[in-house]
Structure formats: structure tokens, C-alpha cells
Amino acid sequence: MTETPPITTLADDTAYAEAVQLAVDSAAAYYADGTSTLDDDAYDRLVRGIQAYEEEHPESVLPSSPTGKVAGGAVVGDVPHTVPMLSLDNVFGAEQLADWAAGLERRLGRPVTVWSVEPKLDGLAISARYRHGRLAQLVTRGDGTAGEDVSHAIGTIVGLPDRLTDAVTVELRGEVMMTASQFEDACAKRQAHDGTTFANPRSAAAGTLRAQDRPYVCELTFFGYGVLPSPGDDSEPATRLRELPHSQVMEWVATQGVQTTAVTPVAGIVAETLERVQERVGEIAGLRATLPFGIDGIVIKCDLATDQAEAGFSSRAPRWAIAYKLPATEKITKLLRVEWNTGRTGIIAPRAVLEPVELDGSTVTYATLHNVADITRRGLMLGDSVTVYKAGDVIPRVEAPVVHLRTGDEQPIAIPQVCPSCGDAIDTSQERWRCVRGRGCRAIASITYAVGRDTLDIEGLAENRIQQMLDTGLIADFADLFFLTKEQLLGLERMGETSSDNLIAAIEQAKTRPLSRVFAALGVRGTGRSMSRRVARHFATMDAIRAADAEAIQQVEGMGPEKAPVVVDELIELAPLIDKLVRAGVNMTEPGATPPSAEPQEPSADLPLVSMSVVVTGTMTGPLAQLSRNEVNELIERAGGKASSSVSAKTSLLVAGEKAGSKRTKAESLGVRIVSPEEFAEQVNAFLTNDDANV
């Protein structure tokens, strides 16, 4: 599923020694507070390079090499671990997984009949020591043989109770991390305290776990993944725990009031075949982007205690478990420039230009920076090494500067004083800065958007023609188009009789578009094409939309409490434009929809896609070839389905065209039904409109 990332090639002993030092320093920072100078991929690459060099030059191996270390870590605490806290070896794809399993089965001299498959939680390993059912001590992994006492954090970790159900003496092992909302909360608290934020949930969790004298408390989350009964404890429960399969041990852990991944969508499962293991890997990978906490892979373990005992351990990892790594979603790269663009609604948005970096299957060069306040909050500077995050379909974003990688050459980011597009003043009263001319600033962009194929679809109205109309004062906004006369058009340069007639006809035709298209054409902030369809279907008429307050707008699926008031404000700002459209005779109703006050229409059960979530990917062929992606989505919704852009466990159907890539792979691993564009067209044939057929 993923390929092995390339290794760092080391030429000689000097390069090797430098690489070892870099890995040691990086691991030290990582285990101390999560602020490594290398991202996960770069670290893995480096260690594999070191390993390869050591295999070729065994005489040069340095004692400090991370390959011989128990856990690569370096922050040595003073609490010895009862049993070392080891690392896991990695595989990067199905083939390597099969090789590893085959090797293990050879060692055991029999097939492994039960595997346990769990998410690899991206946090910090911790040992929680319970005495007679009471949480007595918390110890970090440290260097794997001894860790740091962080018992001060007891009481702040969700999922790690002060008392277990039974008065047992055991050591729980698991991962401490921050969920998305805990991270947000921690950033807000730190921001209020010293004006800085955390780079990512992992480093926030690491810093929080070790912090003793912070004036604010941040909550953490624990998920258990293992138990060690006290060494030498031969009581019946301890002996039983040693003999139970891992899956049943984890069930016992949950009965003790400790959180395990069983409460999450990526719960640990047992699998009897490697095929099922691989399938579960796909499922977990597919769910990754939807989880409120980070995972960086899948851990596959022998479930049976006898298999584990016989497989044993190498110096740094158990032989009975392996980490199946998923592609990194976060990497460190350089912030080269910040570009400022005024969008079609007048919003001035900063965009980061980055040193290109591979992230979750694509090369990232640009990333959002949200707004000026965000840049200041994060203390970003030009030339900074920054963490960049991208997973699934999300737009890449710059998370934070890696402050300890600063060289002193970083420069402040210049904040524009005037609108970068027109030079007029900037309205800075809201977090998102806006040109004082609002939509007027980039009239060309908003009109081009409004007449585009997925909005009013006015054929023959290219951007240069719109610019000409703006320059000659024929139009100021897209509603003015509907009042143009043939004579006015003929007065334009390079505009003949036929083109004028055609354009007038195309504009006339655009008056009949459904409300969803007209609403989308307005370019209301916070609503794209698919939200516009939902708004139009929900309210059915423009009058109903305009009469709605924020609360009523919020009834539209996917419209949150932040967006709804923005929509209301936007509709007030857009009132003159909407009035003009009404005067022009533009259609303001959505065919087939009923206003919210009328009897609600049950979705007709005979629609072919009723209550189905459909994703379209790849190049369309057959009758769908002529449709834009938006038009295919409209078609799905006409046929009763819900169009979605990403494949998840909830997806009912994937329409996979030519060159379908990762979405197809994901759908296959999730067992989602896949059809060709031709098969799909047949299924929804009755809903292909004349319009669709004509284009």
C-alpha cells in the first residue's frame, strides 16, 4: 500500500558518524518534548541508512548508534522499567508484511492462526503502575530501560483512571496523546499565557506530560495497548493475564475502566488470515483522516500468548509484532515566501510558498495560512522550517514554525498595508481581512465565477470579454449582464452580429437555471457549489433563504454555527445584486424542492440512489464524459443520493473512471461497491436531463 521510503546513503565513516549524531540528537529532542529536528520520514530514512552502512561495515559500528538502542530515545529518566519499553520494527506495504509474517512463521515452525490488528497511536508511550488497583506511578519511556517519573500528570489524563475496577497490581502500557479538541484547548491556553502555540498534538502531549509548573492545566488522553502483571506475581489473575490472548487481555483492560481503542472506529480486531489483516490495514488507513487523534500506522501482533512467548524479542523490538507504517501526514519543510491574494469576495488571504515536499501521496508547494492573526499567533517568519500537515483531501496547511531550527537569518513576514489587488484600504475589523471595496475589488473574478460552467453556465463569455465589458462600463456585476442589449454588444470591439445573438441567447437561457446555480453564482462566503445545492433544496426559494435568520440557516446540513451568521450578513450585502437578478427575471426557485414551512417531502423511495453516499473519481467515459464533476454531483443528488468527495466506511458506491487512483484503492480495501461510469449512467439514466445530454 505504501512503498519503502528511500534510505539516506552514507559514503564513509565520517558521514556515518555524523548521521549517528544527527539521529541521536533528533531522537533526544523527540522523546523529550516532541520537537525533533527531523520529521518521521526523514528519521526513518536516516536510521535505515545507518543500518545499511553498519551491515556493510560492521567494524565501524558506534556504540551510540540508534540501531542497537532499545528505543532510540535519549532522555534517561531515573525510574528503571520492570521490562524494557521496546520499539517496533516497520514494514511499508503488503509484500513486506507478508515477508515478515513468513519469517515469523518459519521461526515458530507453524502458521500463526490469530493476528491482532490495532491502530498505531501517534503519541508517547507510557507505563502506568497500579498497586492494589490504585494508580501509583506514571513513567515515560525514556531510553527504554529507564524513564522519567511524570506522576504529577495523574488526574489529567482521560482514559487512565485513578482506580481500577479490581484491586490488582499491574503495569499498563499505552499511549498518551491529545485529541483534536484537547490540542485546540491546549493551544488556546498557551496562547493566552505566553502568546505561543504547540507545533502539533504530539509535541503538545509530550510537553504537557513533562511540564510540572505550568499555571494552566491541559487535558491528555490515554489508550492502553498492553499489560504486564508484576514480575514474580504468581497469583491466579496474574497467571491468567499472562496466558490470555492479547485480544482478551485488552477486553480485560477495558473492564477495569481503562480506555482502549475499542471505543474508537479503529478498534483492535483479531484476524485469522493475512488477507483479513491487510483488509483491516486498508480500513484503518481509510478512516485515518476522520479520526480525532493521530495514528501513524497499524500494529499487527500475534494474538496468542504462546506465539508471543516463543517468538520472543530482538534487542530493540518484539519479534511477535510489527508496525505497518502509513504515509506521513506531516513533514518539515521551508517557508520560502508568503503570497497575498484578494479573492472574488474581497477577502485577502495569505498563502505559503514552500520548498516542495511529498505528503500523503502528493507534492505540496502551497499551503494555507488562514489569516494575519494566525501568522502572528504562530510567530511565523520567512525562511522558517515549518511543519506542514495534509491528510486525505484536506487542503495542506502550515501548522507551526520549528523554532529550534532557526538560524537567525529568518525574516519577518511583511503584512500588506493596502489591498494587494487594487491598492485601496483594508478592512481589518474581522480576523479575515477584506478589501474595503469588497466584491467590487475583484469584480472580474466574481463575474467569471458567476457565469462559469458550474454556476450560470453562460457559454461564450470568456474572461477577456467580461474584462472588456467592465472596462467599457457596460457592467459592474453579473446581474447587469441580463440587461445588455444587442446594440450594446455590437458596440464592443471584436463582437459581430452572430456572436452578439448567441451571447444574448445564452444569457437568456441562464435565467432559467435552478436556484442552486443562481445561489452558487452569488459566491456567498462559506458556501461552495455543494453547499449551495443543499441551501437551495432546503429553502426551495430565494425569498425563503432571504427570510431565514442564522438559526434557520443552520438547519441546512453541514452549516455550522460559525458559517450561518456569515451567510446572513452576506445576503444583506448581496441584497442589491439579488434584487437586480429578480428584476431581470432570473429564476429564483429550486425545481422539486419545498420550502421548510410546507409539508416536508419524504425522499422518494423509488429514486435509485436514495440514502446512498456516492463518490466519483477518475476520468468519466460514456454518457458522463461531457459532464463536469459538479454536474455529475448534481445528477447524483437528483437521483436521491448524496455526493461526497472522499471515500470512507460510509461510502455506498464509487464511480471509478479511467486513471482512478487512491480513492479506488481505498474503496477496494473498504469493500465499497465500485462501478464504471457507463454502469452508473445506466443506473441513473432517467435523471440525465436534456441539458446534460446536450452539453
Q: Which residues contact 288 (CB under 8 A, 6 or more apart)?
A: 266, 295, 326, 329, 391, 392
Per CB under 6 A, does 88 bind ligand IVH? yes
Question: Is 162 labeled as ligand-binding?
Answer: no
Angle between helices 629-638 and 529-539 (to 10 degrees): 30
- Please state the closest distance from residue 286 (CB atom) to ligand IVH, in A: 18
Dump the DSSP string for 335-377. EEEEEEEE-TTSBEEEEEEEEEEEETTEEEEEEE---HHHHHH
Question: What's the CA gap between 599 and 263, in Å, rounded?
Answer: 39
Smallest gap from Cβ 693 to ligand IVH, in A, equals 53
Instruction: Among 16, 31, 100, 225, indicate the residue that binds ligand IVH (CB under 6 A).
Output: 225
Q: Which of 97, 321, 643, 656 is the binder for ligand IVH (CB under 6 A)?
A: 321
Q: Which long-range contacts (CB under 8 A, 24 or more apart) does 97-102 make?
A: 97/274, 97/277, 97/278, 97/281, 97/300, 97/322, 97/324, 98/274, 100/322, 101/274
435 is annotated as contributing to ligand binding: no
Q: Which stretch binds ligand IVH (CB under 6 A): 61-69, 82-90, 153-161, 397-405?
A: 82-90
Is the CB of 154 or the CB of 262 nearer to ligand IVH? 262
Of 69, 120, 663, 666, catalytic: 120
Residue 97 carries which side chain, given as an amino acid letter? L
**What does the longest C-alpha to C-alpha distance in the chain come to?**
99
Residue 323 within binding range of ligand IVH, rule CB under 6 A = yes
Regarding 281 and contact with ligand IVH (CB under 6 A), the answer is no
Q: Is the Cβ of residue 39 or residue 384 nearer to ligand IVH in the bound state?
A: 39
Q: From the CB of 519, what's the least distance to ligand IVH, in Å?
A: 46
Using CB under 6 A, pick the residue from 24, 46, 86, 518 that binds ligand IVH.
Answer: 86
Closest to ligand IVH by CB, 121 or 332: 121
Site string for ligand IVH, 124-163 (x = CB under 6 A): -x--------------------------------------
Decide: is 36 part of the binding site for ligand IVH (CB under 6 A): no
Q: Which whole-number Å values give the CA distances from 678 to 290, 366, 664, 684, in the listed order?
A: 31, 36, 16, 10
Please pick, from the candidates 292, 318, 440, 618, the single residue that binds ligand IVH as defined by CB under 6 A. Answer: 318
| CB-count exposure of residue 693 (10 Å: 0-12, 13-18, 19+) | exposed
In angstroms, the CA 695 to CA 684 distance is 17
| 43 appears as a binding residue in the annotation | yes
Are 651 and 667 in contact, with CB atoms under 8 Å apart? yes
47 binds ligand IVH (CB under 6 A): no
Pick from 175, 307, 477, 692: which binds ligand IVH (CB under 6 A)? 175
Which residue lies nearer to ligand IVH by CB, 74 or 299?
Answer: 299
Instruction: Check whether 301 is labelled as a binding-site residue.
Output: yes
Cell numbers found for residue 510: 441562464
User: What one-character DSSP code corresponds to residue 481?
Assistant: G
Q: Which of 8, 65, 87, 345 binds ligand IVH (CB under 6 A)?
A: 87
Which is closer to ligand IVH, CB of 120 or CB of 344?
120
Annotated ligand binding at 302? The verdict is no
Q: Are 93 and 103 in contact (CB under 8 A)?
A: no
Query: 188-225 burial, b if ≥16 CB within 10 A, otherwise e?
Result: ebbeeeeeebbbbbbbbbbbbbbeeeeeeebebbbbbb
Concatenating the DSSP letter of every residue in 584-642 gives: HT---B-TT---TTSPPPPPPTTSTTTT-EEEEESB--GGGTTS-HHHHHHHHHHTT-E
CB 116 within 8 A of CB 159: no
Residue (117 or 535) nearer to ligand IVH, CB:
117
With the CA atoms of 144, 146, 150 and 151 taken in that order, what torsion angle do they form, in degrees rounded to the nearest 10?
120
Q: Please say which residue, 222 or 225, places its beta carbon nearer to ligand IVH.
A: 225
3 assigned to a ligand binding site: no
> Which 102-131 positions form the footprint of ligand IVH (CB under 6 A)?
118, 120-121, 125
Would the annotation count 42 as a binding residue? yes
**Closer by beta carbon to ligand IVH, 260 or else 516:** 260
Of 377, 384, 420, residue with least CA distance to 404 = 384
- Subset of residues 50 to 69 that bind ligand IVH, contact rule: CB under 6 A: none
Decide if 659 is catalytic: no
Span of 85-93, 100-108, 333-341, 659-667 interacting with ligand IVH by CB under 6 A: 85-93
Q: Which residues are annotated as a binding site for NAD(+)?
A: 40-44, 87-88, 118, 141, 175, 301, 325
Q: Which residues are annotated as a binding site?
A: 40-44, 87-88, 118, 141, 175, 301, 325, 419, 422, 441
Judged by the rule CB under 6 A, the positions of this chain that interact with ligand IVH are 86-88, 118, 120-121, 125, 175, 225-226, 299, 318, 321, 323
Q: Which residues are annotated as a binding site for Zn(2+)?
A: 419, 422, 441
By annotation, the residues acting in catalysis are 120
